[in-house]
Amino acid sequence: MQVPENAVVQINVINGDGAIHDIAVPQFGAKSDHITGKGAATAIVFRANANGTFEYLCTLPGHKAAGMFGKLIVGEPQEQAESSALDIAKNPTEVGVPVGKRGPEHITVDLETTEVVGKLADGSTYKYWTFNNTVPGPFIRVRVGDTVTINLANASDASHIHSIDLHAVTGPGGGADVTQAAPGQAKSFTFTAKHPGLFVYHCATPMVAQHITNGMYGMILVEPEGGLSAVDREFYVMQGELYTAEKHGALGHQEFSLEKLLDENPEHLMFNGTMDALSKQYKLEAKVGETVRIFFGVGGPNLTSSFHVIGEVFDKVYSQASLTSPPLTDVQTTSVAPGGATMVEFKVDYPGHYVLVDHALSRVEKGLSGVLTVTGPEDQKIFHSHEPGAAAAATHKAHH
């Protein structure tokens, strides 16, 4: 929506589904009453006395995450703050090549540490620190017994020393002791992947928490001998936190707040680096009958995640990412510590939108959600609505 600056604006809302809704434009102090009945209406009236781009939304918990928000432009559209910002969100489908039945090999991994201005949300940016310009960094995929060489180069235009600690490494600092690289410098080391599992890696240069929160984390999968079982879809998802001086939802460039980091009070929480990486930018898609595997980790640096997919039950959970222990079965929500990981698998049986969350659900309001879209035929035995006419339609369909 676009309106002239200083105009008196009225927004009318009609309830189309019968659930509880409202509408608000927080920056102008406008908020409606709740409407509950299907066809019920409400309105807000305010004066748009500031030029710029603002958000309107439904303030009910979880409704913004489900897509109930939009953009209000007051005055002439301005060039967005992220026009020259880098797209740092990690594509969740970039999971590498399964190792299959191959034997041990020598694998070389090249990483560059960078400090770049990236898009955080529509209209806002942040100075991210990254591995290979994405948050999280690349998904490294090897097998137990592989010899792995890590080549780490710190970009010449960086302002800080960077390094890497891989939790899969047996050795000093997980590699951090020998990879403290100044701007323009490169370091290297080699290790043997002794333990199968899904492991977090991160920068381990003091102060470590600042390097991690700014985006310097990722995961390395060490597959067991013979590889993992075949599935239809694999996704790479990591949870992170940003501590900014500006409040969540503010426009423009966001600056790091040391005070909020030390208080463990993040303004933004996200999957794969940005506010909408897995809800708008990248699509997690599957078809009815397929088995989905999610490699899930918490970069952090501070908060434990209660990972949950709304409307699904995990058929298998490899607790704490142990691939050599029997998986848990039929799990609703699994706890993942900062610097920890899990691997979950589930068959999708019914079409629809399935929302990925941390079940500490207040965090959804700070950006922490993603969407898995499942397409295919509906099975009325698994799920069906009891809306007026739905049962009759289902019966009619079953008999024809």
Between these two residues, 57 and 296, which has the higher pLDDT value? 296
Using alpha carbons, select from 182, 179, 294, 312 the residue that is nearest to residue 239: 294
pLDDT for 392: 45
Is 2-74 assigned to CATH 3.40.470.10? Answer: no
As a whole number, mean pLDDT of residues 54-69 equals: 86
Per-residue model confidence (pLDDT) at position 387: 73
When pLDDT is averaged across residues 376-390 and rounded to a whole number, the result is 85
* 237-281: pLDDT as tens digits: 999 999 999 999 888 999 999 999 999 999 999 999 999 999 999
Q: What is the pTM of this model?
A: 0.81
Of 2.60.40.420, 3.40.50.510, 1.10.3720.10, 3.40.50.1370, the CATH number of 80-400 is: 2.60.40.420
| 58 in a labelled binding site | no
Residue 275, annotated ligand binder? no
pLDDT at 17: 85
Identify how many contiguous H helices and E strands the chain contains and give both numbers.
3, 27
Tell me: the pLDDT tens digits for 198-226?
Answer: 999 999 999 999 999 999 999 999 999 99
Q: What angle do CA 306, 263, 339 make, to 5 degrees?
A: 40
Beta bridge partners of 118: 86, 126
Q: What is the pLDDT of residue 83?
A: 66
pLDDT of residue 299: 98
pLDDT digits (tens, 9 = 90+) for 319-370: 999 999 999 999 999 999 999 999 999 999 999 999 999 999 999 999 999 9
Residue 77 has a pLDDT of 59
Tens digits of per-residue pLDDT, 112-135?
999 999 999 999 999 999 999 999
The vertex-333 CA angle with 327 and 334, nearest 5°, equals: 55
Determine whether the annotation assigns residue 203 to a binding site.
Answer: yes
Q: Known binder of ligand: residue 359?
A: yes
User: Does 34 carry a binding-site annotation?
Assistant: no
- Residue intervals in the chain for CATH 2.60.40.420: 2-74, 80-400
- Please check if 63 is assigned to a binding site: no
Q: Is 308 annotated as a binding residue?
A: no
Q: Supply the pLDDT for residue 388.
A: 61
Q: Give the pLDDT of residue 234.
A: 98
Q: What mean pLDDT comes out for the span 24-50?
A: 91
Q: How far apart are CA 248 and CA 267, in angstroms?
A: 5
Is the pLDDT at 400 greater than 60, yes or no? no
pLDDT score for 398? 45
